[in-house]
């Protein structure tokens, strides 16, 4: 292990972390044939205790060693990770150094502690690789970090090549960034008598209270995403109808509906013949014109159009089937937790496509508006 971490270049700061450096020194001594005494065992126990404290704080579980290595990769701010965050890895010579470091981390992921445990007369390192954590209250660990650590750890443990390891880490940095600002959704200011004002990550976002204004804003942001997705699918869930009597055109024009976005068809009210749109020609009983938020016609009409999902306030209804309730709640939580735009777009696609098939007509036509 000592030979491995001594060759880390871009991730050299990770090699200086006390747990990793202690284990490397102990393993190096063992390989050189030096006796590992009670003092070395105490050092090993201190490293294990520090790792367990880190696991408690950040919610590690299962393979704590791989969780720990993943945590180091997630938090090491270096020229590569700072460049790759939110955009992914680019092309450059620095990638060669990173690839070498990732080759070392792959080896560390598969490291066998059996010989070190035997030399120390312990089994603590073997236990760490198959660990079952005690249930913890949400306020005891950084839940957002815990979920990311364990997911990344499982992904990295499953890769079968250095190239796949590089791709997995690049995608992680692109999606979440690096360091505490990339791993945590929200922070609070904390006054410390010795250190002054500190920026502390919020452990559990579920415990955060949001104002009504923030919640309504988040719901409306979700509706904007859903509307864009349904419009892209030309879903009938956005189809609307408005009837105009002949008297509505006493001045030659009538206001379009507030939620109007685009026209689907215009039909004469008397015989349901379809009218044709004109731009410059005079309007006749067979034509209509749209201009500056108004519709011009010479007879009563039925306007079929695609509408928007208007912003909602207290007591308003959302004109979507009740099958959307769970999706809107889930997506609203993501907005409140500051999910990135590309993450939100993908989540909305997944949720809406799971409800409404990718075809124009579907079984969700029944309009069952629910209250906010």
Nearest to 206 by CA among 135, 137, 152: 137
Neighbours of 340 (CB within 10 A): 14
Supply the pLDDT for residue 179.
77
Domain extent, residue 67, equals 2-183
- What's the pLDDT at 168? 92
- Residue 202 confidence (pLDDT): 54
Tokens of 69: 């290595």
pLDDT of the residue at 198 = 56
Do residues 146 and 240 share a domain?
no
Tens-digit pLDDT string for the chain (372 aa): 767 877 888 888 877 787 888 888 888 888 888 888 888 889 888 988 888 888 887 777 778 889 989 989 988 888 888 888 766 677 777 888 999 999 999 999 988 888 888 888 888 887 888 777 655 554 444 566 777 888 899 999 999 999 999 999 998 888 888 876 666 655 555 666 666 665 555 555 555 567 777 888 888 899 989 888 888 878 888 899 999 999 999 888 999 998 898 999 999 999 999 999 998 888 999 999 999 999 999 999 999 999 888 888 777 788 888 888 888 888 888 888 777 788 888 888 888 888 765 444 455 544 455 555
Same domain, 133 and 223: no
228 & 163 share domain: no
pLDDT at 255 (0 to 100): 94
Tokens of 66: 């791989």
Domain tally, the chain: 2
User: Same domain for 241 and 281?
Assistant: yes
Query: What pLDDT score does 372 carry?
Result: 53
Domain match, 260 and 140 both:
no
Report residue 140 as tokens: 């005891």
314 contacts 345 by C-beta, under 8 angstroms: no
| Residue 196 resides in a domain | no
Can you give the pLDDT at residue 345? 87
| Domain co-membership, 107 together with 13 | yes
H or E element, residue 80: helix 79-84
The pLDDT, as a whole number, for residue 184 is: 60
CA angle, corner 197, sides to 194 and 199, nearest 5? 120
* pLDDT for the residue numbered 366: 46
Q: 97: buried, middle or exposed (CB in 10 Å: 19+, 13-18, 0-12)?
A: middle
The most distant pair of C-alpha atoms in the chain lies apart, rounded to whole Å, by 102
* Per-residue b or e along 261-285, where b marks 16 or more CB atoms closer than 10 Å to that residue's CB: eeeeebbbeeeeeebeeeeeeebee
Contact between residue 68 and residue 54 where contact means Cβ atoms under 8 Å apart: yes
Question: Rounded distance, CA 133 to CA 53, Å?
Answer: 12
Q: Is the dihedral of CA 29, 32, 34, 38 positive or negative?
A: positive
- Residue 234, sorted as left (phi over 0), alpha (psi -120 to 50) or beta, turns out to be left
* Terminal Cα-to-Cα distance of the chain (whole angstroms): 57
Does one domain contain both 165 and 294? no
Q: Are residues 10 and 149 in the same domain?
A: yes
Residue 198 covered by a domain: no
Q: Return d(Cα 25, Cα 3) in angstroms, integer.
A: 10
CA pair distance 13, 58, nearest whole angstrom: 20
Other beta carbons within 10 angstroms of residue 292's beta carbon come to 6
Do 124 and 224 share a domain, yes or no?
no
């Amino acid at each position: 292990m000592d030979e491995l971490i001594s060759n880390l270049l871009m991730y050299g700061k990770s090699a200086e972390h006390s747990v990793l450096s202690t284990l490397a020194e102990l393993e190096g001594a063992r390989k050189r044939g030096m006796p590992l005494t009670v003092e070395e065992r105490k050092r090993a126990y201190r490293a294990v205790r520090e790792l367990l404290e880190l696991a408690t704080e950040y919610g590690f579980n299962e393979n704590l060693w791989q969780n720990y290595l993943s945590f180091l990769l997630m938090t090491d701010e270096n020229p590569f990770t700072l460049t790759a965050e939110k955009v992914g890895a680019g092309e450059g010579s620095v990638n060669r150094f990173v690839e070498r470091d990732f080759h070392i981390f792959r080896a560390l992921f598969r490291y066998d502690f059996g010989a070190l445990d035997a030399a120390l007369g312990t089994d603590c390192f073997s236990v760490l690789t198959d660990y079952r954590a005690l249930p913890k209250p949400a306020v005891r660990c950084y839940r957002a970090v815990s979920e990311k650590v364990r997911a990344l750890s499982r992904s990295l443990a499953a890769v079968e090549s250095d190239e796949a390891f590089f791709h997995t880490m690049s995608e992680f940095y692109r999606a979440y960034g690096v360091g505490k600002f990339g791993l945590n959704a929200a922070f609070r200011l904390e006054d410390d008598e010795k250190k002054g004002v500190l920026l502390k990550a919020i452990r559990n976002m579920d415990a955060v209270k949001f104002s009504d204004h923030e919640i309504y804003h988040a719901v409306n942001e979700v509706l904007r995403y859903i509307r864009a997705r349904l419009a892209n699918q030309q879903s009938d869930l956005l189809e609307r109808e408005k009837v105009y009597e002949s008297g509505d055109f006493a001045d030659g024009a009538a206001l379009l509906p507030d939620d109007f976005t685009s026209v689907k068809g215009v039909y004469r009210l008397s015989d349901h013949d379809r009218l044709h749109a004109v731009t410059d020609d005079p309007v006749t009983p067979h034509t209509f014109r749209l201009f500056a938020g108004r519709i011009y016609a010479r007879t009563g009409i039925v306007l079929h159009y695609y509408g928007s999902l208007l912003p909602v306030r207290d007591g308003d209804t959302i004109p979507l089937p009740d099958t959307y309730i769970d999706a809107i709640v889930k997506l609203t939580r993501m907005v409140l937790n500051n999910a990135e735009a590309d993450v939100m777009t993908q989540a909305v696609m997944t949720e809406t496509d799971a409800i409404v098939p990718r075809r124009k007509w579907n079984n969700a036509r029944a309009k069952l508006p629910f209250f906010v």
